[in-house]
Amino acid sequence: MSEMSGDDLAAVSQLRSSVMRLARRLRHQHVEQSLSPTEMGVLGTLARCGSATPGELARREHVQPPSMTRIIAMLEEKGLVRRESHPQDRRQVVVSMTEQAAEILDESRRRRNAWLAELAAQLTEEEWARLREAAPVLDKLAHL
């Protein structure tokens, strides 16, 4: 995309603000109040990507390895992840989530989806159609 016009810059600002506000409201819909957004993020990454080393999790979550080590320890203490020996490199560990964590994530997703569906029901048919079309583009932005 070339240099942005004033209208484009205004749209970027509105998009940023709206996405942040919606994300903040969605975070408040989670089931397990004792988990931080970072801890929920790590569990979500494990659910999407499967077991991973602490270093891989740190890269995916954009945190420093010592921070990820602390997060994993807290999740392990809560019974939500387990550490196992790496199958190829015994010097490393692999972190995987427990069944309890999977249940928390499933319930959290159900609750967030229901909340978002209630909001979407308040849109006009045209607004809902535009939002459905925008969803893949927003997903692409989230993963760039």
List the beta bridge partners of residue 93.
85
Query: How many separate domains does the chain show?
Result: 1
List the beta bridge partners of residue 82.
96
Structural domain including 115 reads 6-143
pTM of the prediction? Answer: 0.76
How large is the angle between the packed helices 54-61 and 65-77, nearest 10 degrees? 110
Q: What pLDDT sits at residue 124?
A: 97
Phi-psi domain of 98 (left: phi exceeds 0; alpha: psi -120 through 50; beta: other)? beta
Q: What pLDDT sits at residue 1?
A: 57
Mean pLDDT by 10 residues, the chain (144 residues): 82 93 85 83 94 94 94 96 86 93 92 94 96 94 84
Q: What pLDDT sits at residue 52?
A: 94
CATH number for 15? 1.10.10.10
Residue 24 lies in a domain: yes
Q: What pLDDT sits at residue 89?
A: 78
Residue 19 lies in a domain: yes
Residue 1 lies in a domain: no
Q: What pLDDT sits at residue 101?
A: 95
